[in-house]
Structure 1
Amino acid sequence: MVELKNKYQIGIRRFGINWVGAYSLYTKETLRFLNVFGQTIIGPIVTAILFLLVISIAIGNERSDVLGVPFIEFLAPGLIAMQVIQQAFSHSSSSLLMGKVMGNIVDLIGAPLSAGEVSLSIIFASVTRALTISIISIIVFSLIIEIEIKNYVVFILYLFLSSFIMGAAGFIAGLWADKFDHMATVTNFIIVPLSFLSGTFYSVDRLPELLKTLSYYNPFFHMIDGFRYSFINNMDGSITFGLMYLTILSIIIWYIAYLLYKKGYKIKS
């Protein structure tokens, strides 16, 4: 039996992709956030609307134009991008962490799915959640202010790359965290501050030269800046550099997530 197993590698899939299994996991992850729609979709949208309304009332009509458009039209895409970043990270990280805490991560480990299939299924569910939030946010925002997608190609590319990167980062964080306090630390001290301080509420041209230069190497800045470009046709950075930078970063972060899951980092004793 041992010789037979060694010869034919019984139980090990040697080629091909388990499309059915991967799609089933993706569907499960998608239904997971849709089942609590109010918390996972409506909540972030309400938060973005509150930011928009409060800042609009506080500033009024006294704020000068930013990048050639009224400040509120500049702000709205940044608020949507901020929610996309935070919620894509939240989905994948909470998925793995809840599985570890509740003990049902063993079902995922024992499933006939490769590390690539598991990681991509969960990450694409994060992308779906981010896409859902962005579309509904745009519809709701259009009832309050003038907001319109002017470049759909850039919109799709930046939305996908941003949510994919954050989904992969959340996947890594979910593997690393042992309890919800660990995840709260990452979210409160890294994800939220970076999403706030990367051009969501201001143009980086207003920053001192050193901080302005550092911003160009901040992936959060390129996510928000490129996403905003699809609405106002203007940006602080470079559309080409931003796309190249985020594309390379998405591959690197996903590959790290893939390797960690494949090695069983913090999920296998």
Structure 2
Amino acid sequence: MERAEMGVRRFGRVNWLGLWTLASREVQRFTVVWTQTLLAPLVTAGLFLMIFNIAIGPRRGDVMGVVFIEFLAPGLLMMTVIQNAFANTSSSIVISKVQGNIVDTLMPPLSAGEILLGYLAGGVARGALVALAITLGLLVVLGMTVAHPLWLVSFVILGGAFMGSVGIVAGIFANKFDQIAAITNFIVTPLAFLSGTFYSVTALPDGLREMTAFNPVFYLIDGARYGVIGVSDGAPEFGLVVVIASTAAVAAIGWAMLRKGYRLKS
């Protein structure tokens, strides 16, 4: 007997137990290998800071009124958050598809929205924990302080939700790890690197600056920078609206794919 349509909710009520179970599973996926998922990104971000500071920091001078390493740190923080949020959701779905146990997620009485939120919980949690570790490192090692904590927290959560949603869409679309690697190398990484992580967009020519305005990751980087050092290329309020709209749009695509069972049921 075929199960009811995945997107149908039970009498309009949320399956809180099922949602909590899926979210817990997604969090436990990365916490049991914390040296790979939490410690490794922290080390990588530290190496980026050290190498860039040694290579060009002394010659670069101040950027937007702050020393280069302090300007660079928030961008690296957000770049690490979005990369880990994407990796968590996309790898979870692809691994389940490759191993053939995706049915264990689809068969329980969970709606498409609940499955989406369960996967996103893992991506957001991983991104937030990475952000917390890097922020503590900035406080201890560089002596930096967080200028606007609420803004930073808001953009970290939204960054995890946005790229977690992108990871869900990518994971559903991909049928093998090579396809996820291609999406990471040709979409996720360029979006992160060409979004003001290592520079202020005011230094770009007019054409590139206008193209950057259409990159949601730029607003995440810029918002995190405002949260940490209190300066940004654009208005954080506008960036917040853009990121919320972008997250809602990508999440809606993921919800539609889950509801239809696109590339999941066959």
User: With structure 1 as the length reference, what TM-score do the two structures score?
Assistant: 0.94
Structure 2 counterparts to residues 1-269 of structure 1, below 5 A? 13-269=10-266
Counterpart secondary structure, 2:227: helix
Query: How far apart are 1:156 and its partner, in Å?
Result: 1.5
| Structure whose alpha-carbon radius of gyration is higher | 1
Query: How far apart are 1:144 and its partner, in Å?
Result: 2.3
Supply the distance in 1 between the matched residues of 2:49 and 2:238 (Cα, whole angstroms). 29
Alpha-carbon spacing, 1:263–1:56, altered in 2? closer, same or farther (3 Å): same
Alpha-carbon spacing, 1:208–1:60, altered in 2? closer, same or farther (3 Å): closer
Contact kept? 1:216, 1:237, Cα under 8 Å: no
Supply the distance in 2 between the matched residues of 1:167 and 1:61 (Cα, whole angstroms). 36
Contact kept? 2:38, 2:126, Cα under 8 Å: yes
Write out per-residue CA displacement over residues 86-144 of structure 1, whole angstroms, 9 at most, x where no aligned residue.
11000000010000000110100111111100111111210000000000111123232
Task: Tell me the residue number matched to 2:3.
Answer: none
Gaps (5+ residues) in structure 1?
1-10
28-37 or 152-161: which moved more?
Answer: 152-161
Q: CA RMSD in A?
A: 1.4
Q: Tell me the matched-pair count.
A: 260
Q: What is the aligned-residue identity percentage?
A: 42
Supply the distance in 1 between the matched residues of 2:121 and 2:106 (Cα, whole angstroms). 18
Gaps (5+ residues) in structure 2?
1-7
Give the letter for the 1:124 counterpart: A
Alpha-carbon spacing, 1:67–1:259, altered in 2? closer, same or farther (3 Å): same
Give the letter for the 1:28 counterpart: R
Write out per-residue CA displacement over residues 22-81 of structure 1, whole angstroms, 9 at most, x where no aligned residue.
011101110110001011111111111000011111124222111111000000111111
Counterpart secondary structure, 2:142: coil
Counterpart secondary structure, 1:178: coil
User: With structure 2 as the length reference, what TM-score do the two structures score?
Assistant: 0.95
Contact kept? 2:152, 2:227, Cα under 8 Å: yes
Supply the distance in 2 between the matched residues of 1:148 and 1:98 (Cα, whole angstroms). 39
